Structure 1
Amino acid sequence: MKKLIFQFILLFFAFTSLTIAQEKILVDAVEKARSEGFSGVILVAQEGKVLYQEAIGLRSFENLVALKKNDIFEMASVSKQFTAMMIMMCQEKGLLDYDDPVGKYLDIPYRGITIRQLLTHTSGVPDYQAVMDEHWDKSKLAGNPDILEYLNRYQPPMLFEPGEKYEYSNTGYVFLASIVEKATGRDFVELMREWIFQPLGMKNTDIRSPEAKAKVKNFAAGHIKNEAGEYVNANNFHSSDYTVWLGNRKGPGRVSSTALDLLLWDQALYTDQLVSQQTMELAYSPAKLNDGTRSYYGFGWELEPKSPLGKMVMHTGDNPGYKTIIVRYIEENKTIIILNNNYHPDMMRLVEAATLSLGKW
């Protein structure tokens, strides 16, 4: 999926004249998305300066509340870059090493896996959600200890040998959050607030429980169309139930934030405030597989070394009712952040238009 996104962006540049008024392309794309029902926040920045920001659509379709630029969205898998950062901070503090065996920190039935392989989705660990969906009592709330217990109890087989190939793994990032807790002796959520959100001034960013989210006035609910073609809260659908009964999991998702807070995060990654630039360069480096080939996922980032604007790192998120993306052209310090709360197909068209406009700005 993500490789297709890279290819699509590259093809878009290859077949589009850069002499077009690129700023207008973004404005026109946003207006077209608005007319087609897109709901979300679009932000484009260069060197931390906002070049364009727009909120269109509704925070609540049921109550017809308009979205605002600083509304809070569920980040879904965009959260993984924060989990990876926690591991990198632990490594710099001497609390762990990337090539440590996972078994040094966690009691799991899988051997030969390193922390590095969890970070780069090359570990081969099985999908925890399938096991939990089959066996867990969904009247109860599950967290990382429960996930680890059920993986030990039912022991689904490895998907492949560690390091053999890349396969996106939410389980790996559950393990990473649990490793942080083991290495530090601290709660992952509290530590992320202390190490990342608070120092960076990300006042609207947190890992929130469903109860906490309900108390946040400017939380943009995720929406999906019902059988009548009307957008309703995604929590009304059975397919969204896992976000409730897996509501205590840590690592693969659950960060909620705003576009402006994500820009603070983006800019901090150009400094040594969290970790050194040497460590960040490692995070942006492809993984080496057992056969010597490369896999273009670093530490919480999808990688594209030769985009039209130089080296690009990015990540998408996908939760019931939500689509999110952050695209960072790190050689030129240019950033695209799009947060969508009605799972709309126009999101990638907006990314393309924003990318093209950055070529001009």
Structure 2
Amino acid sequence: MTTRRSLLLAGSALVAAPSVASAGPAEDLRSYERFVAAQAAQDKFSGTVLLAHRGKPVLVRSYGMADQSKAIPNGKDTVFCLASISKVFTAVAVAQLAQQGRLAFHDPLRTYLDGFPDKVTLHHLLTHTSGLGRPSQGGGAPPAWQSFDEALAGTLDIVRSTPPQFTPPGTEHRYSNDGFWVLAGVVARVTGTSFFDYVRDHVFRPAGMTRTDYHSKPQVQASAQIARPYWTRPSGGRVDALTTPFFPFTNGPAGGVYSTVSDLLAFVTSYGKVLNRPFADVITSGKVALPAGTSPVRANFYGYGHIDAIWRDQRVFGHSGSGPGMATRLDVFPYGDWVSIILSNYDTSIDPIVTAARDLLTS
């Protein structure tokens, strides 16, 4: 039976050549493109979107400025902070060690790191059910770390001294960035190397992610290839978050990866390279039920560093990200072999664009 997805594939070549007359399939893609362009024209979006089928880009479009002060536009190779999409890579690092038999998902955390509650497991940390970490709330200027490893060690000390948000572990899902810093500490302890170097060597490099890395605030400030994060002030208007005292040295294993749409697509097509397929399936599949939200979401779960949902009748997994001057989404549709990637250097919600892409690819 002919479906819109099959027609989209048939019409995808026409998208790259708009002068060629086309029927409905390419027009569906153009409609999505026009919608994103309208969001950008209203100053609601600044960034890059990518749709891909079977690992091949079908549409890549960029809007807005990577650096307004220098008039540098966003492009297909612009590097964006991924925010919480970064958790995907931390989960992959843990899963690699489980695959090698060097740890197990249900191991107690105290097997690897001292000073934490007895009953917290790696599974709890991966699913945000450990209770560890600081509550999500505003605060003052972040600590003045000088290196990635100093930031990891310092954050572990802070988490150790922070009472659990709930006990016993496993009773509640409460999103915890700090929990993924703790997982990074486990990876560092098991491997005997820097967590950041481990991910570079064992995840980014084998996945072919040549423009992806953890960058410090000074590195971002010095680079012309990285999009500046434009934070929306409560009083109105936007400001480069890097110029404020509240932008941290790094968001580390919870939110500090910088990448491009092309590199993220390379990663999605490399799950079988960085992990054996059964372990890739384990980390991307749902473990803890979350509120489904509004239709057409029919089920919603958190896996290991991945969100796993049913949109209409299609499974979609990946992760979202947000922060001052950041809004990101990685959506993988395994049944139709589609990928949608949205990376923005505004913190204005990208939910309308996410919904438009999901509707296009699941109708």
After TM superposition, the score normalised by the length of structure 2 is 0.83
Deviations 1:198-243 (A, max 9, x none): 11221100011223223432110101245785432112345xx152
Find out whether 1:204 has 2:208 as its counterpart: no
SS in 1 for 2:231: strand
**Who is 1:325 aligned against?**
329
Deviations 1:10-61 (A, max 9, x none): xxxxxxxx99953232022022112111210010111111111100000112
Find out whether 1:167 has 2:169 as its counterpart: no
SS in 2 for 1:256: strand
**Who is 1:106 aligned against?**
113
Deviations 1:149-175 (A, max 9, x none): 2333x4423423211121111111011
Query: Where does structure 2 lack aligned partners over 5 or more consecutive residues?
Result: 1-23, 290-298
Find out whether 1:300 has 2:305 as its counterpart: yes
CA–CA distance in structure 2, aligned partners of residues 265 and 315 of structure 1: 13
What do you get for the CA RMSD once the two structures are aligned?
A: 2.6
**Who is 1:3 aligned against?**
none
CA–CA distance in structure 2, aligned partners of residues 264 and 123 of structure 1: 32
CA–CA distance in structure 2, aligned partners of residues 126 and 62 of structure 1: 37
Shift of 1:108: 2.4
CA–CA distance in structure 2, aligned partners of residues 137 and 62 of structure 1: 25
CA–CA distance in structure 1, aligned partners of residues 101 and 117 of structure 2: 25
- The alpha-carbon distance between structure 1 residues 303 and 71, as it changes in their structure 2 partners (threshold 3 A), is same
**Who is 1:84 aligned against?**
91
Quick check: 1:44–1:337 contact (8 Å CA) kept in 2?
Answer: yes
**Who is 1:348 aligned against?**
351
Deviations 1:337-361 (A, max 9, x none): 000112223x22112222233247x
**Who is 2:36 aligned against?**
30
**Who is 2:183 aligned against?**
176
**Who is 2:361 aligned against?**
358
**Who is 2:248 aligned against?**
243
- Count residues in correspondence: 327
Find out whether 1:39 has 2:41 as its counterpart: no
Quick check: 2:134–2:178 contact (8 Å CA) kept in 1?
Answer: yes
Of the two structures, which has the highest relative contact order with CA contacts closer than 8 Å and spacing of 6 or more? 1
Greater shift in the superposed pair: 48-57 or 118-127: 118-127
Counterpart residue type for residue 333 of structure 1: D
**Who is 2:19 aligned against?**
none
CA–CA distance in structure 1, aligned partners of residues 301 and 142 of structure 2: 37
- The alpha-carbon distance between structure 1 residues 32 and 178, as it changes in their structure 2 partners (threshold 3 A), is same
**Who is 1:147 aligned against?**
155
SS in 1 for 2:94: helix
**Who is 1:8 aligned against?**
none
CA–CA distance in structure 2, aligned partners of residues 51 and 288 of structure 1: 33
**Who is 1:339 aligned against?**
343
Query: Where does structure 1 lack aligned partners over 5 or more consecutive residues?
Result: 1-17
Quick check: 2:209–2:263 contact (8 Å CA) kept in 1?
Answer: yes
**Who is 2:281 aligned against?**
281
